[in-house]
Amino acid sequence: MKLLVTGGLGFIGSNFILKLLTESSNYEIINVDAELFGADHKNLSEIKNSKNYQFVKGNITNKKLMEEQIKKCDAVINFAAESFVDRSISDANPFLVSNIRGAFTLLDIVTKENKRMLQISTDEVFGSLSTGTANEDSNFNPSSPYAATKAAAELLINSYHITHSSDVIITRCTNNYGPRQFLEKLIPKTIVLAHNDKKIPVYGNGLNVRDWIFVDDHCDAVHLALEKGKSGESYNISANNEISNLTVIKKILELMNKSEDLIEFVEDRPGHDLRYSMNSNKTMKNLGWKVKSNFEDGLEKTIQWYIENPVSPNDITKALESTPWKNSN
């Protein structure tokens, strides 16, 4: 099977490509990535010369390029997106371009070419839930510009399935952690700052709850959805592992033998959702997926990876920019 993976230089896309190409010889992959935030060629250095892998630099909004690439493939998995909520607060425009226009460009082409498209979405489309848990039929209530663009892409995809019978599947996942994540996100930022004995900024009181999943478990679910998913359906992916940001940070400091004195509470970000929660009963039942990693083991592997793959002082300075929404548009 020949797959077009978009955004494959980023965190989850690169883990997915590595997993698929090392665990199975049934796939050839073309990776289209525009080399934007989150992209790093080092993420795929171990397979860059594999005969089953090809990299094409390009933007998913480029219709001509995407037509050429999609014609060569059996299915498209769209990981490409602007993915950082904080940056969507300071400037939402790139999010509309990549996350809506980009997804639409792919959707329109796969529909004409009769190919399957799998859209990688997020639990953030359901917004903050003070109680209860979202299932696949729950209402969308996105709070951030990032989440709103992901919800918009989902609505378009669903409308194409109803109107044009497009062969589309949506997966929604909770917060991922693991190797190869861009430093701006909570877990890699905490690990790298702690490793360098620098202060770790915590938004507000740190009690915002996220449901954490090891990236390998997410990739397994995406693979199953591609192979066994039913067209027009969506699948929620959650490890049932709801933890507050402060607890996550304290756990990392404990595993790294660092003092909690490194924690520094800073001004909260606007519109900061208190809690996301999804259940993945449908994905477990219909796709036969289950979580394999536990949080502590996954965190240890992640810490190990960041220690073995040190970042430059320049990148650490960037990670310290804890309030990017204050940058002017």
Ligand X SMILES: NC(=O)c1ccc[n+]([C@@H]2O[C@H](COP(=O)([O-])OP(=O)(O)OC[C@H]3O[C@@H](n4cnc5c(N)ncnc54)[C@H](O)[C@@H]3O)[C@@H](O)[C@H]2O)c1
Smallest distance from ligand X to CB 136, Å:
15
The tokens for 176 are: 């991922």
> Binding of ligand X at residue 10 (CB under 6 A)?
yes
Q: Supply φ then ψ for residue 112, to 5 degrees.
A: -65, -35
Task: Give the sign of the dihedral formed by CA 166, CA 77, CA 139, CA 290.
Answer: positive
Three-state DSSP string of 164-199: HCCCEEEEEECEEECCCCCCCCHHHHHHHHHHCCCC
Q: Which of 27, 53, 95, 182 binds ligand X (CB under 6 A)?
A: 182
Give the binding-site size for ligand X (rule: CB under 6 A): 31
> Binding of ligand X at residue 188 (CB under 6 A)?
no
Smallest distance from ligand X to CB 12, Å:
4
Q: Which of 29, 34, 151, 226 binds ligand X (CB under 6 A)?
A: 34
End-to-end CA distance of the chain: 43
Q: Residue 224: in which H helix or E strand, if any?
A: helix 215-228
Active-site entry in 123, 184, 211, 220: 123
Sheet holding 53-57: strands in order across? 53-57, 28-33, 2-6, 75-78, 116-122, 168-173, 234-237
> Binding of ligand X at residue 118 (CB under 6 A)?
no
Region binding ligand X by CB under 6 A among candidate stretches 30-38, 238-246, 270-278, 317-325: 30-38
Contact 275, 133 (CB under 8 A): no
DSSP for 118-135? EEEEEGGGG---SSS-B-
Binding mask 161-180 for ligand X (x = CB under 6 A): ------------x-xx----
Q: Which of 31, 69, 88, 98 binds ligand X (CB under 6 A)?
A: 98
Contact 79, 13 (CB under 8 A): yes
Smallest distance from ligand X to CB 11, Å:
3
Q: Which is nearer to ligand X, 186 or 200 (CB)?
A: 186
Contact 69, 30 (CB under 8 A): yes
Region binding ligand X by CB under 6 A among candidate stretches 28-36, 134-142, 187-195, 221-229: 28-36
Smallest distance from ligand X to CB 116, Å:
17
Active-site entry in 27, 53, 86, 146: 146
Region binding ligand X by CB under 6 A among candidate stretches 53-61, 85-93, 227-235, 247-255: 53-61
Q: Which of 31, 69, 83, 133 binds ligand X (CB under 6 A)?
A: 83
Known catalytic residue: 124?
yes
Q: Which residues of 137-171 are buried (b: 16+ CB within 10 A; e: fewer)?
A: ebebbbbbbbbbbbbbbbebbbebbeeeebbbbbb
Known catalytic residue: 91?
no
> Binding of ligand X at residue 95 (CB under 6 A)?
no
Q: Which is nearer to ligand X, 182 or 258 (CB)?
A: 182
Q: Which of 150, 189, 269, 275 binds ligand X (CB under 6 A)?
A: 150
Known catalytic residue: 146?
yes
> Binding of ligand X at residue 6 (CB under 6 A)?
yes
Residue closest to 275 by CA, chosen among 158, 140, 153, 133: 133
> Binding of ligand X at residue 11 (CB under 6 A)?
yes
Q: What secondary structure letter does DSSP report for 98?
A: I
> Binding of ligand X at residue 209 (CB under 6 A)?
no
Residue 127 CB neighbours (<10 A): 22
The residues of the shown chain that bind ligand X, judged by CB under 6 A, are 6-7, 9-13, 33-39, 59-61, 79-83, 98, 102, 120, 122, 150, 173, 175-176, 182
> Which residues are catalytically annotated?
123-124, 146
